[in-house]
Every structure is written in C-alpha cells, then in structure tokens.
C-alpha cells in the first residue's frame, strides 16, 4: 500500500483537471523527479486498477442475478458470492477515496484535457459558421483564438513529454540504487552491523518505497507509450 500524504480531501468523483492552466517553458529544475511526482504516478496506476476491479465486480453481480433468474445458480450460493463481492467493492472504494484525497494531478493530463476542449469548441464554431449563425469576422476572430490555444497546449504537451522521458531515466537510475541499498542492508544485518529488528524495520520501509517507485515507473512507461 502507498505511504500516506496529508492533503485536503476532495470528492471521490471530482475531476483532477483544473479550470485554468498556465503554460510555461520548461527549465532544468522542472525536470527534477520529486517524491510527489513518484507518488502521483504510483497512485494514478493504482486508481486505474481499482476502477477496473470495481467494474468487474459490478458485472459479476449482474451476471449472478441473471443466472439466478434462469435457475443456473442456486439463490443461496449466489447470495454468498454477492456478499463477498460487495465486501470487496466497499474495501477498494474506501482505498480509492483515501488515495484520491492525496492525489496530485500530473500537468500533461490537464494540458491534454485543455487541448481537447479547445478542439471541441473549434468544431462547434465551424458548425455555427455553416449554419450562418455568426458573421465571418466573428468566426475568424474565434477560430484564431482556438487555434492559438491548441498550438500553445501542443507545445506544452511536447515539453511535458520531454520532462517525463527525463523522469523515466531518473526513476530507473534511482530504483537501481534503492535495490542496491536493500541488498546492502542484508549484508549489514548478516555481518552484525544491524540487529534483526533494525534490519526488518529498514527493509520494510525501503521495500515499500521500492514498490511505489516500481508502480510509478510502470505507469510512466504506459503513459508515454499511449501519448507518443
């Protein structure tokens, strides 16, 4: 499970996209991989898995209800299974809520949302022109505005992709270092430098950290593959 971070609670179904996004040129400092970024990537991957499992649970419950109706499954057997599924559904729903309370949006997804919104508005604008609901002058003014917004966000998305490539390299490098540290802990315990309790405590903390970083790297690689 992910290490908790204290953040203000937000609604379970609230979108992580902001209403306004400021686009800035990337700097070297922007490429730094922080713990917040790692956590956000790891959480995003886990949230996707939770959503998938919740959908599967609802589908199985629906299928069981249909099978009971046609006599393919005894009612008592179905009830027991539905109870198990409902219990699991509640567990992962609570986990999802806790994760979303501490989830920090990743800029590239906000930018993609902004670009898609501008494209939709441009499409509607063309519809208004076709219907002759607006003047040519107004059309040209608004078309220029929407196209500029699309171009600006596309440039920012390119910068974010470059940044994420750097993050991927940093994640791989630091993951290797953390795994090496884990092995070093074992050596220190084996040589008597660390007690069993000290070793177990440090190993547990580092193993949890490694799990987060592995999840972050996996999600980052999936995202880059999807967006390229």
Position 15 scores a pLDDT of 31
Cα-to-chain-centroid distance, residue 188: 37
**Torsion angles phi and psi, residue 91, rounded to 5:** -60, -50
pTM, 2 dp: 0.57
pLDDT of 31: 67
In the chain, where the domains are located: 34-104
For residue 30, the model assigns a pLDDT of 58
C-alpha span between 71 and 190 (Å, rounded): 61
Taking the chain (228 residues) in consecutive chunks of 10 residues, what is each chunk's mean pLDDT?
44 32 44 79 84 94 94 92 96 90 79 94 95 94 97 93 90 94 96 95 92 87 83
Q: What pLDDT, on the 0 to 100 scale, is given for residue 20?
A: 34
Determine contact, residues 49/215, Cβ cutoff 8 Å: no
- Sequence-distant (≥ 6) Cβ neighbours of residue 8 within 8 angstroms: 101
């Amino acid at each position: 499970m992910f290490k908790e971070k204290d953040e203000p609670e937000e609604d379970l179904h609230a979108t992580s996209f902001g209403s306004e996004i400021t686009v800035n040129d990337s700097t070297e400092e922007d490429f730094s991989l922080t713990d917040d970024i790692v956590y956000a990537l790891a959480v995003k991957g886990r949230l996707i898995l939770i959503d998938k499992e919740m959908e599967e649970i609802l589908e199985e419950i629906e299928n069981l209800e249909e099978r009971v109706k046609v006599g393919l499954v005894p009612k008592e057997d179905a009830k027991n299974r539905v109870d198990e599924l409902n219990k699991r559904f509640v567990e992962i729903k609570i986990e999802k809520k806790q994760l979303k309370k501490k989830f920090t949006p990743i800029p590239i997804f906000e930018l993609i949302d902004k670009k898609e919104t501008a494209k939709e508005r441009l499409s509607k604008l063309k519809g208004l022109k076709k219907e002759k609901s607006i003047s040519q002058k107004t059309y040209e003014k608004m078309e220029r505005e929407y196209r500029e917004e699309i171009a600006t966000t596309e440039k920012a998305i390119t910068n974010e992709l470059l940044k994420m490539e750097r993050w991927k390299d940093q994640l791989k490098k630091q993951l290797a270092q953390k795994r090496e540290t884990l092995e070093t802990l074992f050596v220190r315990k084996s040589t008597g430098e660390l007690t069993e309790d000290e070793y177990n405590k440090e190993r547990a903390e580092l193993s949890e950290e490694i799990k987060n970083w592995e999840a972050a790297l996996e999600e980052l690689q999936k995202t880059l593959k999807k967006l390229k």
